[in-house]
Each structure stands twice: as structure tokens, then as C-alpha cells.
Amino acid sequence: MLPIAFAQTPDKPEHGVVATPDIITALTLGDLPRLTGLLAAGADPNEFSPTFRGPVWLSSLIMGEKTMFWTMSRTSELSVEPGTNGRRGGREALAIASARGYPDVAELLIDRGVDVNSRLNVGATSILIAASNGNAEMVQTLIRRQPSGSAR
């Protein structure tokens, strides 16, 4: 028996679907065992979180829960599509990883298709964000991962 409540969805009546607030609660509490249980029960870290205006997995980076991020990345194929219409996506995740100094997270996001040179709505790139935070290792990681022929 799982320690969470399930809501049935019409398209999958035989499977319970974990609501986004359950995942956010696990992230907020830093409760890795609970998150692991939610993911095992079918929670989708790509589900949109209205609270964080992006996929649930992105909220783990916003909250600085790097271990939670890695747990979700190992259990699911994270969607790193660019954010649109005020929603956050892969480019925002790369910016957060750059600001927090998470080169390993940046590498994963880039491997999954996030463009190193993409700009946030304010015009900043992840390289600029890493540099403004004084993180030389992060800057070097991002420069090394730029596509051939990119302006440096």
C-alpha cells in the first residue's frame, strides 16, 4: 500500500496517477524516499506545476534539491523543451544550474538537447549567468559544450 492518495484519470482508469502537489510536497520536505515512492507509483516529473510555471523536475532545481533532480532524471526521460507562454523549460533549467554552479546538471541538460546559447526572456545566456556568479568551472563547462562555430 502506498502512503499517498491516488486520483484516477479517465484515459488510464486502471492506473493511479500521482498529483503534482504530492511531488512538490516531497521536494519541499526534502523527502527522497517519498519522491522515490511517487516515481515508482507512476508520478510524471514532466507534469506541469502551476506553482513553478514549468515541469515538476524543474522545481527541484529551483529549490536547490539536486539529489531530487538526479532521482527524477534516472527514472524518467525529462522533457527539456524550451518554455513558452510564460512557462519555464530546459533553457530556464540550464540558467538555474548555471547560477547554482551545477556543471553535472548542465551537462545532462545539454546532452538532452538544451541549447547552451539560448537566451532567457531577459536576454541573458547561461554563460553570462555563470560568469556573473563568479563560477569559472561552470563557465568553462558551458563554453566547452557550445556547438562548433559558436561565438565565444
Residues 96-116, mean pLDDT to the nearest whole number: 90
**Quick check: 134 pLDDT over 90?**
yes
Q: Give residue-wise pLDDT tens across range 22-37.
A: 888 888 888 999 989 9
Question: Which domains, and CATH codes, for the chain?
Answer: 1-61 (no CATH), 80-152 (1.25.40.20)
What pLDDT shows up at residue 150? 61
**Quick check: 38 pLDDT over 80?**
yes
Per-residue b or e along 105-143, where b marks 16 or more CB atoms closer than 10 Å to that residue's CB: bbebbbeeebbbeeebeeeebbbbbbbeeebeebbebbe
Q: Give residue-wise pLDDT tens across range 50-103.
A: 878 888 888 888 888 888 888 888 888 888 876 666 677 888 888 889 999 999
Q: What is the largest CA-CA distance in the chain?
A: 55
Residues 112-140, mean pLDDT to the nearest whole number: 89
Q: pTM, whole model, 2 decimals?
A: 0.74
**Quick check: 114 pLDDT over 50?**
yes
What span, in angstroms and rounded, lies between the C-alpha atoms of 116 and 16?
37
